[in-house]
Amino acid sequence: MNFVRIGEKPEISRLPLFRDMDDGKRERIFSGSFLQVFPPQLTLFAAGQQSDFLYVLVDGLVELYAVSAGRETTMRIVEPVTSFILAAVVTDMPFLMSARTLVSSRILLVPAALMREVIKQDAALMQATMQELAVGYRGLVRALTDMKLRQSAERLGNYLMEQGVRLGDPEAFELKGEKRVLASLLGMTPENLSRAFGVLRDHGVGVSGSRVTILDRDRLARFSRPDPVPPDPI
């Protein structure tokens, strides 16, 4: 367990969540938090547990998953630098999701009680928390719509288009995490993910290992029918 080192601060401070708040208050949060490195495939917390920390993934990759009816499903693949499990911290309710590292990860742990306390004191932090929750809410509305209305290959197509934009190069990028995790995120089996990639090959998508190339964006869009409302910025 280490306290937050100087080198880490800038990228964490640059997060929308902490960016606009009072410097002293931010310092207070950071000095009460600690950075920890976790090995791959380690369970960080399980659904049902009391939410003792807000997590900020600084480096690595984390999977959030939910369990129900004896099976599990990936809810989110968290890429750095992002906070996660904010809603549980804000409501002071047990986690609905579990988390595990997919690769070795450096994570900032902010004590939930401290976070809740400073939120109450700092209007900018509260505002940012509110925004983050609202944006997250809308992301889930999209995800649920996607799951209810689109079929698997279309979901994959949309995911690839969005991921391309998010990662900076809409034409070509690397998939994050194993394909089986991606399959679970998209609500399908690994077998069907393979077949879905096969389908998309005829609609302007190239894949080789985890390298994805979007050869014909219009063609892919025509097939996967992206949401008319464009994605929210951050």
Partner DNA sequence: TCGATCAATTGATCTATATCAATCACTGCC
Partner DNA sequence: GGCAGTGATTGATATAGATCAATTGATCGA
Residues contacting residue 5 through CB under 8 Å, at least 6 positions apart: 35
d(C-alpha 142, C-alpha 63), whole Å: 19
Smallest distance, DNA to C-beta of residue 163, A: 15
- Binding marks (x or -) toward a copy of itself, 173..202, rule CB under 8 A? --------------x---------------
Smaller CB distance to DNA: residue 81 or 167? Answer: 167
Asked if 96 is part of the footprint of a copy of itself (rule: CB under 8 A), the reply reads yes
Binding partner at 3 among a copy of itself, DNA, none, C-beta below 5 to 8 Å by kind = none
Smallest distance, DNA to C-beta of residue 193, A: 6
Q: Which of 61, 88, 112, 182 binds a copy of itself (CB under 8 A)?
A: 88
> Listing from the earlier edge strand, what are the strands of the sheet with 71-78?
43-45, 98-101, 62-68, 71-78
d(C-alpha 221, C-alpha 201), whole Å: 13
Binding partner at 114 among DNA, a copy of itself, none, C-beta below 5 to 8 Å by kind = none
Q: 3-state SS of 105-123?
A: EEEEEEEHHHHHHHHHHCH
d(C-alpha 146, C-alpha 130), whole Å: 24
CA torsion 191-209-75-216 (nearest 10°) is -100
Q: Which of 33, 152, 163, 224 binds DNA (CB under 7 A)?
A: 152
DSSP state of 7: G
Residues contacting residue 229 through CB under 8 Å, at least 6 positions apart: none
Asked if 227 is part of the footprint of a copy of itself (rule: CB under 8 A), the reply reads yes
Asked if 66 is part of the footprint of a copy of itself (rule: CB under 8 A), the reply reads yes
Asked if 207 is part of the footprint of DNA (rule: CB under 7 A), the reply reads yes
User: Binding to DNA (CB under 7 A): which residues in 153-192?
Assistant: 153, 178-180, 187-192
Q: Tokens representing 48?
A: 């049902």
Q: Where on the chain is the footprint of a copy of itself (CB under 8 A)?
A: 47-48, 66-73, 75, 86-88, 90-91, 93-97, 119-120, 123, 126-127, 129-131, 133-138, 140-150, 154, 187, 225, 227-229, 232
Q: Where on the chain is the footprint of DNA (CB under 7 A)?
A: 151-153, 178-180, 187-195, 197-198, 207, 209
